[in-house]
Amino acid sequence: MRIPAAHAVVTAVLSAALLLTGLALPQPVRADAPPTGRPFLRVVVIDHSPPFSDRDADGLLVGFNIDFGRELCRSLGAVCSFDAAPFKQIIEDVAAGRFDIGFGNVLRTPDREQRLLFSVPYWRSSTSLVGRRGMPELSLDEAIRSRRIATIRGSRQHAALVRLADAAPALHANLVPVSTLDDLWSAMRNGESDMAIGPTLNVVHFLLSDAGDGFETIGTPMSENGLGGTVHIVFPPGQHELKASVDRALTALRNDGTYQRINRQYFPFDIY
């Protein structure tokens, strides 16, 4: 009986010690608590825009903007949290200061310049038409007059098609507005549309996937009339010091080859 009794005494003593010293034990740190000693930056990316940002099977954010954003934070010596939101919400949330950095694949426009600060360019955007392999090359004006075209509702591509269709209102019947990139490709594959139009790099990602088998780009990429241009990281108004630090880090990551290394993981050509 001596051993169990001794064990009970030791257990009681240890329990009392833990109760008395509990306040001195390390406490768990909240995931959203700013870390001490290093800058804490809240980063937001587009929700579901592969290959730039998406979620894997475990629900974790992955993609070009995630990998590049992490390297950028490392270069800044900052600890960063990453969140995802629809494109329009990114503009609103960054402008309101709810996030410090927005990787929203944002083009620079006079209206947005009134609400946001912009980094130096970090890639260049354009727009492409995609259709079944063997379809004749068509300009955008020719396509809207002869084909049903799927387009993401509210996108710059949708706006361009609406402008063209307004010249002949019957052409609005050829517009097939959808909500997401997945819907864009599904509309074309299921025969709801003859073609689709979207950002060229998203189109390339689709064509390189199994789902893109049998499809190809139609015509050449377009960047005029708001369909392309330089893409920027955005910041809340007044965050000039942060913008300057990010600009320097972007340049350094291009110069040391980090940008190119990440680029090659997602694209078969330099997107800068």
Q: Are residues 102 and 80 in the same domain?
A: yes
Mean pLDDT, to the nearest integer, of 52-60? 96
Are the C-beta atoms of residues 76 and 245 closer than 8 Å to each other? yes
Q: Which residues pair with 117 in a beta bridge?
A: 235
Closest CA to 203 of 242, 80, 195: 195
Q: What is the C-alpha separation between 64 and 50, in angstroms, rounded?
A: 8
Answer yes or no: is 272 within a domain.
no
Note the pTM of the prediction, 2 decimals: 0.79
Residue 25 lies in a domain: no
User: Do 109 and 180 belong to one domain?
Assistant: no
Statement to judge: residues 200 and 249 lie in one domain: no
How many structural domains does the chain have?
A: 2
Statement: residue 187 has pLDDT above 50: yes
pLDDT category at 154 given cuts 50, 70, 90 is confident
Residue 5, in any domain of the structure? no
Q: Work out the average pLDDT over 102-114.
A: 92
- 28 Cβ partners below 8 Å, 6+ apart? none
Please report, for the domain that includes residue 240, its CATH number: 3.40.190.10
- Per the structure, the complete domain to which residue 136 belongs is given by 127-222
Rg, the chain, Cα only:
25
